[in-house]
Structure 1
Amino acid sequence: MVKCRLSRVQKKCLFEEKMSYAVERGRPWKSQLYLDGVLDSIIQNGGSRAKSREGVNLAEVIFYCMKNNPDGMHTINGATGEKFTNDQILKRAVSIARALKSDRTTETVIIMLRNSEHMSALFYALLFAGVVPFMMEPNSTEYEIQQFLPLVSPHIIFCEPDRVDIATKAVEETDIRVVVADGSSLDKFTLGCSDDIGSFQLPEVRPDATALIQPTSGSTGVPKAAMLTHEGIIMQMPSVWIHYTQFPRPTSMALLVSTCQWLTHTIIMTGFPVYQVPILMTPLKISAEYIAELAGKYRATWTIIGPALATPLGHLATRDQLSSIDRFCVGGSTFSPDMLAPLQDKLPAPGCLLNGFGMTEAHGLVAVGPPGTPLNSVGHISNILNLINEKGEIVKEPNEKGELYIKGKCLFKGYLNNEAAYRETVSPDGWLKTGDVFYRDEQERLFFVNRTKLSFKYLNHHVYPEEIERVIGSIPGVQQCVVVGADAGPAAAVVLQEGCGVTREDIQQAVKSTLSDYKHLRGGIVIVTSLPTTHTGKVHRASCLQLIQELVGREECF
């Protein structure tokens, strides 16, 4: 077990030596001091070649913490009830890592896996082997896989048994391997590779190197691949635990709801073994009913989910099922506090329900409201945050609106093969423009106002309008189209060529046969003669949304 008990003098020295960016206007978090102690322990005990905390990479942190807490619970499979210790997961990961390292041509892979002990082992194996994974929705379609192949250039796709045919078809006429990531298939993949932890050597990797790649959307709404670094992920680890005081194991058990393409998945899989928190996960489809069942059966104490699941959970769950929860964080999209009133009422204490704000490009949570904070606030502003008004000036007064900017080593490395998008998102002096507007009150607490980004969420998934627009635009006879987020889901306004004969049914079918379910046009389709434009001739999306909303009201959009 990693022990990092520090005296007041030691804590003061650590804080003076390296103040984390993760402080609230100069106040160090205990979770950061704990992590500083872990990093020092890694260096002092030969767990890294680095001579300072800044030189330790993510693989070294996770490997060291799991190795030195072998009997600690790591993964609980909620579907089967099976429990796996750090030692069991680490042995499997080491054998997979050795298999990957034996093929030096493997540099990048795609992961399309649901949450299980096999995903856990493979996730760490890739880090331990120095192979960079692109984290993709487990149920991605053939079309969606093919969209990322030229960008990512993977050598292997790891997928579930029921996605083999789809993945194999997607990589036809390429030399990309498709590998099933279940127990028996991984046994074959690692045949002849030792699982001995003591003799395993981690590769030398710079802290600023890419650790993994996740899909995301910037201000353009176009799907991109954000490169996350070792140091950025490490720096964000304390942010989850800023309101806790007991370390290690600040909470008893975390319920992992999100799958691998989500930032919350990365936060939990990387940071929770370091803080010695067991992870409850399941490969089965997540629903509000299932979350309530898992929380009640296994007595989960911590989770983070989106409003799309949190809202029905408040109506479906019983007080007993949620009685073990000490922190319930809601994030990922906007919500009305009234929507979550039933959930708040069923939690053990009013302070259990928290609002959090984070970004893939910032490696994790950048603000989390402490217990007792109004639910529409994401907590206090920290050293790395600024609000910038429309004049480009720093907001100095309370209650003045401004776009949230983020700065520091917590920022991502860039978008894979898309320098233009990076320059559009990050200013020349290093500030990340989030596209989200906030104001702060007299107590320095942040309150969300609106989004300036084009992307939207539906059924707790990111929806990128231009991806759906490309599908609609590929239909012969479609002249122009725009997709927006309506109340009922994605909606489209389409301009057709005269006399082409394309129908709403044709458009719906094209989208349904190509894209995942949550991207289907449930908000409806409206056929128009032209689309609203800006003074520069670009489609005015806000006006398009207003147009569609009006037509929905007149039952002309269906």
Structure 2
Amino acid sequence: MVIIADHVALLKKQAAERHNISTERCHIGHVILEGMLQYPDTIHQIDAVTQKQETNISVANRTKRLATAMRNYGLKVNDNIIVMGNNHLDLCIPYFACHFNGYALCAVDPIMTAEDLQTLFHYVSPEMVFCSKDKVEDTKNALSKNNLETPIVVFDDKENDLEAFVKKHNGTEEQFCLPDFDHSKTIAWLMLTSGTTGLPKVAVIPFDTLLSGLCCWWVQFTDDMDYALAMATIQWMSSLIIFSSTCLMNFTRVQLSVPITPQLLIHVINKYKPKACAWTPYLLGQFLRAAGDLCDLSSFKYIAIGGSSIEKPLFDQFSAKCGAYLYLVYGMTELLVPVFEYNRTTPFGSTGKPMDKFQYRLVAEDGSTVTKPNEDGELWLKGDAFFKGYFNNPEETRKIINDDGWIMTGDIFYKTEDNYYHFVERKRLLIKYCGFWISPLQLEDVIKQHPAVAEVCVVGIPDKETTETPVAIIQKKNGCQVEASEIFKLVREKMPDVKQLHGGLYFLDSLPQTPSGKVHRAKLKEMTITATRIMPTQ
């Protein structure tokens, strides 16, 4: 049994004794290193693609060498570091070096476009970048556009890789000690979040907030774990949590050094039988359609499902195949932690009940507080566990954190008489048509009732006469046929006139998705403006 709070307290005590400091001065870098040293021969990470693996002590020593080399190069506490790559065995070395040295880690998915890198570097101004050879040119261009002369360490280039950097700057594991700094004022993570705009914003997570936040994710899970699966790259919260928790929860991290596919995932799950992982509903639906009866899911004990709401048929389908505790978590990057008490008795469709440690408000359009049950309002939250604003972006920060410290989530909720909260809609996704607000999720739920529809996304595009007009983008199930007229008829039967598909629809073989497994609404909206659409009058 692993009680996360107890284990972290033990690791802090051991680290304090090892480094001759008080437990209050121990930050997450101390705790992670102590976790590696506690079980030195335990396998820390496995690349399921190459079958290569590495022990805790090897990861600890390689990280120490890189951390001292980075200090010798001249990096200082609170410097910003970009780490970009797929989940190969070298990725965690600069990742943990940032935690050891008090650097602000900004983890980036390698599929980030050159334009987004340029925007990101404008805000972050990195002091060092770690990436693979195929991202060097984009990285150099982004740095040049921002007049930055930043060194690039290249994972897969022998002349410029981790070992070359360590050798050049005299990295060593001998007599290693971690720097002392103010945990509340030193940034641990710079987390990318784009919302629906597609433009990167960077959420600030300090060191003290991070360690307490990591513990929150594992409170409900106390079973011993041998393997946990990191599916996404470390830009995304699920893998950030699994990477940082490897030594806090004493598991071996299974990861993939190439982009994930359902077929590869089937192989990995059958081979390693992990006990924990995280899914988005979209990725889960894709996986179940591909897996059929080819994958044994019985090993899973704890699965977090987030990123968007899961539909009851998909939930039931997965539950029938997997006996794990399905933790349906409401969250957003800026919150870092789960904010509702959710357990096995929570009614389906509810995000859970409020926690005592946070403050909650539901706010109506006129700014008043919603007090009656079953009335919609925007969820506002206040607490010390959340992000501290967007890095170097006060304008965007003011849009989400008001003068009284409330985080305005932009998400519409209602609560029942017994205080269960229910997510309704993301406020910023609503489509304004002729003065009326149309919920894309509501339209999507109707369209998914058609037996030939696998996935659907409804977006609003600009219209001179109506402000915006809703358009549906539909992915058919394999081997199925559906006519546009059938979809229009279905929506007419279920929805009022104002909430029809006034902008039409079109079909795609597959819907684009973000690296975290969500439908890429921003990209679909951009595509839809120039797409050939089938209109309801045709």
Provide TM-score, normalisation by structure 2. Answer: 0.75
Quote the Cα distance in structure 2 between the aligned partners of 1:220 and 1:144: 12
% identity of equivalent residues: 25
Give a deviation string over 1:284-340, Cα, whole Å, max 9, x none: 111233222211111111110111110122232237521211122210122322233
What SS does structure 2 have at the residue aligned with 1:387?
A: strand
| Distance change in 2, residues 1:418/1:520 (3 Å) | closer
What SS does structure 2 have at the residue aligned with 1:414?
A: coil
| Distance change in 2, residues 1:440/1:66 (3 Å) | farther
Unaligned runs of 5+ in 2: 431-439, 442-456, 476-511, 513-518
**What letter matches 2:84 in structure 1?**
M
Note if 1:373 corresponds to 2:346: yes
2:275 alignment partner in structure 1: 301
Deviation of 1:415 after TM superposition, in Å, equals 0.9
1:20 alignment partner in structure 2: none
What SS does structure 2 have at the residue aligned with 1:191?
A: helix
| Distance change in 2, residues 1:33/1:223 (3 Å) | same
Deviation of 1:234 after TM superposition, in Å, equals 0.8
Deviation of 1:75 after TM superposition, in Å, equals 0.9
2:502 alignment partner in structure 1: none
Tell me if the contact between 1:112 and 1:137 (Cα under 8 Å) persists in the aligned partners. Answer: yes
2:217 alignment partner in structure 1: 240
2:249 alignment partner in structure 1: 275
Quote the Cα distance in structure 2 between the aligned partners of 1:34 and 1:485: 51
Deviation of 1:382 after TM superposition, in Å, equals 0.8
**What letter matches 1:408 in structure 2?**
G
Quote the Cα distance in structure 1 between the aligned partners of 2:250 and 2:377: 38
In the alignment, which of 122, 126, 129 is matched to residue 154 of structure 1?
126
Note if 1:331 corresponds to 2:306: yes
| Distance change in 2, residues 1:261/1:484 (3 Å) | farther
**What letter matches 1:379 in structure 2?**
G
Deviation of 1:179 after TM superposition, in Å, equals 2.0
| Distance change in 2, residues 1:385/1:279 (3 Å) | farther
| Distance change in 2, residues 1:446/1:40 (3 Å) | farther
Quote the Cα distance in structure 1 between the aligned partners of 2:369 and 2:143: 49
Give a deviation string over 1:369-389, Cα, whole Å, max 9, x none: 323534423333212141323
In the alignment, which of 84, 98, 112 is matched to residue 84 of structure 2?
112
In the alignment, which of 363, 376, 380 is matched to residue 401 of structure 1?
376
**What letter matches 1:352 in structure 2?**
Y
Note if 1:554 corresponds to 2:528: no
What SS does structure 2 have at the residue aligned with 1:226?
A: strand
Quote the Cα distance in structure 2 between the aligned partners of 1:406 and 1:339: 30
Q: How does 1:120-269 map to 2 (within 5 A)?
A: 120-172=92-144, 174-182=148-156, 184=158, 185-191=161-167, 197=173, 199-208=175-184, 209-217=186-194, 222-246=199-223, 250-269=224-243
Quote the Cα distance in structure 1 between the aligned partners of 2:470 and 2:41: 50
After TM superposition, the structure 1 stretch with the greater mean CA deviation from structure 2, 262-271 or 89-98, is: 262-271
Quote the Cα distance in structure 2 between the aligned partners of 1:219 and 1:162: 27
Note if 1:386 corresponds to 2:360: yes
2:63 alignment partner in structure 1: 93
Deviation of 1:123 after TM superposition, in Å, equals 0.3
**What letter matches 1:341 in structure 2?**
D
**What letter matches 1:252 in structure 2?**
D
Deviation of 1:520 after TM superposition, in Å, equals 4.5
What SS does structure 1 have at the residue aligned with 2:90?
A: helix
Tell me if the contact between 1:221 and 1:453 (Cα under 8 Å) persists in the aligned partners. Answer: no
Q: How does 1:10-49 map to 2 (within 5 A)?
A: 31-43=4-16, 45-47=17-19, 49=21
Aligned residue-pair number: 459
Quote the Cα distance in structure 2 between the aligned partners of 1:119 and 1:438: 39
Note if 1:424 corresponds to 2:399: yes
Give a deviation string over 1:430-465, Cα, whole Å, max 9, x none: 2211112223345544321111135999xxxxx9x9
Where has structure 1 moved over 4 Å in runs of 4 or more? Answer: 192-198, 218-222, 391-398, 454-457, 481-486, 517-524
| Distance change in 2, residues 1:104/1:195 (3 Å) | closer
